[in-house]
Amino acid sequence: MSFEEAEILKERAESFLRTAEYLISVKEWDLAIFCIEQYCRLILKYKLLIKSGSYPRTHSMRELIKQLSHYDSSVKILLEDENNLLYLTKLEDAYIVSRYLPRRYDEREVLDTFRFIREVFKSIVNRV
């Protein structure tokens, strides 16, 4: 792992979060939730890369959080709290659904998920 590789992941993750914010502003709910999921997955991989020098090749945020909890147990709250877990599973589903299935996301679920990411997920993961 190089510092440059890690920084690329971090920058890309932050770009996905900014893109999600823009997509929310123009009411593109399906693409916004996809970008939110991408932010979460990439920032978790970035944290694992910094802590361990690598990260697993998986689309599961839950698996990434389990791996990260080996380095900082405080992230376990994302899996142990029922509300947090519901948001994470919704985002894991959004990765597939927003790309391949004819399901629409609505304003409320995207805004609620975005709020969770900014207020809960990001604050927990940033402490690692």
Query: What percent of the chain has pLDDT above 70?
Result: 99
In this prediction, residue 120 carries a pLDDT of: 98
Asked if 37 and 115 count as a contact pair (C-beta separation under 8 A), the reply is no
Give the pLDDT of residue 3. Answer: 82
Which backbone phi and psi does 73 adopt, to 5 degrees? -70, -15
Band of the pLDDT at 1, cuts 50, 70, 90?
low
pLDDT tens column, 39-79 = 999 999 999 999 999 999 998 999 999 999 999 999 999 99
The domain made up of 3-126 has a fold known as Four Helix Bundle (Hemerythrin (Met), subunit A) (1.20.120)
What whole-number distance in Å separates Cα of residue 40 and Cα of residue 43? 5
Distance (Å, whole) CA 43 – CA 81? 20
- Tell which residue, 12, 4, 36, has the closest CA to residue 22: 36
Going from N- to C-terminal start, the domains of the chain cover 3-126
For 49-59, write each residue's pLDDT tens digit: 999 999 999 98
